[in-house]
Structure 1
Amino acid sequence: MKGPLALSIGWRFYRARQSNSFISFISFASTAGIALGVAVLIIVLSAMNGFERELEHRLLGVVPQADIVGVSEPIANWQSVAEGALLIEGIRGAAPFIRMQGLVQKPGGFQGLAVVGIDPKEEIKVSTLAQFMSDASWQSLGQDENHIVLGQSLLTKLGLEVGDTLALYVQDMDPEAAGSLRAAKSHRFVVSGAYNLGGELELTTAYIPMQYAAQILNMKSGVTGVRISVDKVFDAPVKVRELGYAQKQSVYISDWTRTQGHLYQDIQLVRTVMYLVLVLVIGVACFNIVSTLVMAVRDKASEIAILMTMGLSRLAVMGIFMVQGALNGLLGCGLGGIIGVSVALNLSAIASTMEQLLGIQLLSADVYFVDFLPSELHGSDAVLVIVMAFVMSLIATLYPAWKASQIAPAQALAGR
């Protein structure tokens, strides 16, 4: 009977707190603080999840998840390398590429550019690049012509449009003397399209047909390297090493953790810092529960004494005030959870509306790899935050409840 009795009296004490306006205010502040901390923490974690999703599906879908490149000579039989890659569990695709560095003229100077020659039929096995350009642009990369597809940001920066021509300066390797270089040659290209991905990649990378790239480099056979895609992006370093060690010729091994790993580390750092800060916010709100209960104990000292003279145990007295404090925490967690989940599910739309109303841009595509605020709510994150906040609020009730159980009935009634 102690449990239900403590619960009933605790509920009545919780409702009766309205009789003391100051205690009610502190109680409201603690509930609001917990709700705010829970809501913001759920929203922040959802935003970080969204950035991770976009990093994996957007950026890592276009840049190589991993690749192997010939050291002193091209990879001659790339088909056998691709077949060997598919035999490794966890690798889902492999495609050849030819890579070169070039300079394109822009107003006021030159712009460095990484030019990648691809075969659309093979590239689609390892890349989602086709999703970020028109079908006509993608198909133009399958023709053995001087077509080039630039990032939309670079196209705008150069003041060009689809159909215009540009001069690209590329170092010409001397096929008869390995390692020696001729003077850079100028090659004319027709801009056949643009891709719109966002971020630095748009300014630094262009795509051309792989056969035409081979002609520019006098590469009669072979390719620069083979890129692979994996089922789980974090397995890329292990899988590409397994593939690279199986090759007979010397190859360079690279994966996305070397080229784009800083983005993932930045996301994790922000997640950790924000998690700690907001947990402290919830902790401060829980301290308000301590203040509320300490004042409630002093306010209800005579009622507690009467109950104890009627036979209520000290353990039951602790339960009464733990219930009262837990109700504050439960209400705050519930409100915070509802608000946090609701906002997290509509965060992208809310951010877009704010941008339109205020005339600002929260994320610039020229700086970040996305130009919108992504969000992905994980149920486990919401449950973890709510449970953590409730446990913290429950722990905060222990000391005031213990102090209430130590009240001496005779002294409390004598001073009434």
Structure 2
Amino acid sequence: MLNPLAWRIGWRFFRARQQNRFIGFISMSSTVGIALGCLVLLVLLSAMNGFEKELKQRYLGVVSHAELRGADAPISGWRDIIETAESMSGVVAAAPVIHLQGLTQRPDGFVGVQIQGISPTFERRASNIANYMDADAWQSLSKRDDSIVLGAGLAEQLGVNLGQQLVVYLPNPGGSQSGPLSARFTVAGVYQVGGEMDYHGAYINRLHAAELLGLGNETTSIKLRVENLFDAHGLIRDLGYSLDQYLYMSDWTRTQGHLYGDIQLVRLIMYIALFLVIAVACFNIVSTLVMAVRDKQAEIAILATMGLRRRAVLQIFMVQGLTNGLVGTVFGVGAGAYLAWNLPNIGRWLDTTFGINVFSGSVYFIDFLPSQLQLSDVLLVSVLSLLLSFVATLYPAWQATKVQPAQALSNAA
């Protein structure tokens, strides 16, 4: 247990460190270094948490978690397949989708369009796309007509407004010898998710898409939404192998997994790099205490002759070193938590004040700086910093117990 006298003396040594300016400077450097390391680590971890949250809720909330696609022919009996899928444990919902690849013209040439024919009744349960368009646009997709909802970036590129006509050239179901199919749509609204989807994606009614391709009541794919994203790979294979149709199976780890992998890789690199930053700052505690022990040899000798045990001497310098780490940790974690909490506002301020666009919506799946402060990260950074500070005190404090009172007093004299 900590000796109360050792705590008081260690605290007095910490407060009196300014008597030796060089020791005081090194001590302050270690405190500032620990604080900066904690601050940067907490802010960057919160930013990575924000990216992961937006990826799951925004991007992966719109794209399919898993999907079955017809290989040589469209999928028949899709209603039975959806019932089978939704009866599986871990599957939230399933929805039919008809995919069309087309070209449309803009003033300087052509641009590719990835059109999805959806049924709003099924789609609302299988994705969050309805949250990113207004009610009128979503309602238009329920009508079996030529309404189309474009991504905001695509609508801006094409320079079209609501109610205007848009011609899209689609592959002809009859084959390449028949030439492309020209389809005319009426722009009924726009959606804005963020990233590449806004610049190439569009939605139309599924029955109208089936008419264009001559599919009747068939569909080209079935998308699944699952409870746990990491179960998507196994669930889609269990479903696919249970069917007697020749189908392609894919999941989000094949189409969007690189984004999640990049976030986890950057997070790991930050852990290692900033762990080393805090470790270097804690090594300054070693330097501070080594010099403090040399500077306080006479005081140690006097305390020893008065009956203070070596264990208490050890605790004195451990308290002094840990106080450095504690002060740095408290200030660093406090400032880091404040910055992490306000990181989106800071990003918007940089954008409006200096015109610095931190993230471009045409490149990334978000156009703002996300952040999610988690208690687990605060505890992890705090414990890591204090643990390294504690380890840094062991050797200098142990050396303090080796001071010989007679020799130290003779040298002081």
- How does the TM-score come out when normalised to structure 2? 0.97
Cα displacement string for residues 267-316 of structure 1 (whole angstroms, at most 9, x for unaligned residues): 11111112211111111110111111111111101111111222222222
- Asked if 1:212 is matched to 2:213, the reply is no
Question: What residue number does 1:64 align with?
Answer: 64
1:45-84 maps to which residues of 2 (within 5 A)?
45-84=45-84
Q: Secondary structure at the match of 1:229?
A: strand
- Residue from 187, 191, 198 that aligns with 2:194: 198
1:30-49 maps to which residues of 2 (within 5 A)?
30-49=30-49
CA distance in 2, matches of 1:128, 1:2: 57
Q: In the superposition, relative to structure 1, how do residues 394 and 8 fare at CA in structure 2: closer, same or farther (>3 Å)? A: same
Question: What residue number does 1:133 align with?
Answer: 133
- Residue from 281, 291, 296 that aligns with 2:292: 296
CA distance in 1, matches of 2:2, 2:204: 78
Q: Secondary structure at the match of 1:397?
A: helix
CA distance in 2, matches of 1:395, 1:171: 68
Q: Secondary structure at the match of 2:369?
A: coil
CA distance in 2, matches of 1:83, 1:182: 37
Deviation at 1:109, TM superposition (A): 2.1
Deviation at 1:102, TM superposition (A): 0.8
CA distance in 2, matches of 1:181, 1:223: 24
Q: Secondary structure at the match of 1:38?
A: helix
Cα displacement string for residues 358-379 of structure 1 (whole angstroms, at most 9, x for unaligned residues): 2221111111111111111110
CA distance in 2, matches of 1:355, 1:185: 44
CA distance in 1, matches of 2:233, 2:366: 25
Is contact 1:151–1:202 with CA below 8 Å preserved after alignment?
A: yes
Deviation at 1:180, TM superposition (A): 6.9
CA distance in 1, matches of 2:322, 2:177: 75
Question: What residue number does 2:309 align with?
Answer: 313
2:310 maps to amino acid: R
Question: What residue number does 2:11 align with?
Answer: 11
Deviates more, 1:210-219 or 1:345-354: 345-354
1:17 maps to amino acid: R
- Residue from 350, 354, 359 that aligns with 1:363: 359
Q: Percent identity?
A: 51
CA distance in 2, matches of 1:194, 1:56: 22
1:58-137 maps to which residues of 2 (within 5 A)?
58-137=58-137
1:390-405 maps to which residues of 2 (within 5 A)?
390-405=386-401
1:242-281 maps to which residues of 2 (within 5 A)?
242-281=238-277
Deviation at 1:132, TM superposition (A): 0.7
Deviation at 1:181, TM superposition (A): 6.0
- How does the TM-score come out when normalised to structure 1? 0.96
Show structure 2 runs of 5+ residues with no match. none
Is contact 1:171–1:181 with CA below 8 Å preserved after alignment?
A: no
1:198 maps to amino acid: G
CA distance in 2, matches of 1:107, 1:261: 35
Question: What residue number does 2:339 align with?
Answer: 343
Cα displacement string for residues 33-89 of structure 1 (whole angstroms, at most 9, x for unaligned residues): 111111111111111111111000100111111111121221111111111111111
2:399 maps to amino acid: K
Q: Secondary structure at the match of 2:105?
A: strand
Question: What residue number does 1:171 align with?
Answer: 171
CA distance in 2, matches of 1:219, 1:44: 50
Deviation at 1:173, TM superposition (A): 1.4
CA distance in 2, matches of 1:310, 1:161: 89
Question: What residue number does 1:161 align with?
Answer: 161
Aligned-residue CA RMSD in angstroms? Answer: 1.4
- Asked if 1:334 is matched to 2:330, the reply is yes
2:102 maps to amino acid: G
Deviation at 1:122, TM superposition (A): 1.0
1:283 maps to amino acid: A
The size of the alignment, in residue pairs, is 412
CA distance in 2, matches of 1:284, 1:157: 51
CA distance in 1, matches of 2:133, 2:91: 25
Is contact 1:173–1:181 with CA below 8 Å preserved after alignment?
A: no
- Asked if 1:408 is matched to 2:404, the reply is yes
Q: Secondary structure at the match of 1:142?
A: coil
Question: What residue number does 2:377 align with?
Answer: 381
Deviation at 1:23, TM superposition (A): 1.4
CA distance in 2, matches of 1:238, 1:163: 44
CA distance in 2, matches of 1:246, 1:107: 49
Q: Secondary structure at the match of 1:112?
A: strand
